[in-house]
Amino acid sequence: MIVPVNQSNVYAAAVVHSISWQASHRAFCSPVFTAMHSPEHQASYLLKKMDNGSSVFMLLDPMPVGIVSLTESLIEDLYVLPDDQGKGYGTALLQYAIAHCRDLPTLWILENNASARAFYLKTGFRATGRRNMITHGLDEIEFALPVRYRTASAADIELLVQSRLDTLRAVNHLDAAYSFGAEFTAAVRRFFLDGDHETVLAMDGDRVVGCATLCFMELMPTFSHPTGLRAHLMNVHTDSSRRREGIAYQMVSMLIDSAWKRGVTEISLDATESGRPLYQKLGFVASQEGMTLEKQQWDAWASILK
């Protein structure tokens, strides 16, 4: 769970910040300077940031394990307790911050922080070439995420149709030149214009490098699903040249967050073997519930019955 930091929980966030900051800076900062970053010192620092318009978020599982701050689109203070690193908490906080950026996400890291550099490169960030001198001989480097995420609208219909057809070609191992029939393409267009869905596009400039769609369904309410609102995740695809940058994780995370806010109580999906690790990382579990009947299967069975 990721929650906003405020006056009531700022000290808990400051403890995480203090322990993590000291651990990451101890190798190149003096003991005296490192010790200055106590929980009390970091609480004052975080409160001052919030007073100046920054937002601070804390990850709980169930105790506080990580924090991140955001000033418009500048991501800072991403720290996870040393004993809790390598569990996906840093990625979850980063993706949460990215989803709340107003513009192109940026951040700064010390040039000698090799582990941070590797982490951000893996999640799609790239060095912009801008540098700031911290001390003589030590600079910090700016990184930016060239991919921008946005919820598609009817004005994006051509991009939506093309991304869906590209996805189908990829998952069905079809040739890039494979042509879908006019009736099928029209059905895809009609769904994006009239269907109850939310689609996230990942854009690198004017080029779509990823897409993901959540289809909403309203069923009869049940004891377990009192709102009757459910959703099915489909159309999750990342361009082959941009995989392993966290693009699919970010798109699906945005859709999950949107679904809960809308009142959805269950999200289903049909996962490929290659996609299972992503969905498991996001909390999806395999389900053996229910049965299905496809029209093609019914036609074959009906002919046997006759």
Per-residue pLDDT tens over the stretch 226-248: 999 999 999 999 988 888 777 88
Q: Is 139 helix (H, G, I), strand (E, B) or coil?
A: strand
Cα(212)–Cα(98) distance, integer angstroms:
17
| Equal fold, 2-103 vs 148-281 | yes
Buried b (16+ CB within 10 A) or exposed e, 43-54: bebbbebbeeeb
Q: Based on C-alpha coordinates, what's the Rg of the chain?
A: 23
Cα(79)–Cα(18) distance, integer angstroms:
9
pLDDT at 165: 94
The token pair that represents 11 in the structure block: 């000290």
Which secondary structure element, helix H or strand E, spans residue 65, and what is its range?
A: strand 64-71
pLDDT at 88: 86
pLDDT at 188: 96
- Domain residue limits, the chain: 2-103, 148-281
pLDDT at 301: 77
Which residues are within 8 A (CB) of 287 and not within 5 positions of it... i.e. 6 or more apart? Answer: 268
Average pLDDT, rounded, for the chain: 89
- Residue matched to tokens 């970010």: 250
The CATH superfamily holding the domain 2-103 is Gcn5-related N-acetyltransferase (GNAT) (3.40.630.30)
Cα(211)–Cα(186) distance, integer angstroms:
19
- Residue matched to tokens 């690790």: 277
148-281 sits in which CATH class? alpha beta
Residues of the chain whose pLDDT is less than 50? none
Cα(200)–Cα(2) distance, integer angstroms:
21
pLDDT at 282: 84
Which residues are within 8 A (CB) of 46 and not within 5 positions of it... i.e. 6 or more apart? Answer: 5, 10, 13, 14, 17, 56, 69, 77
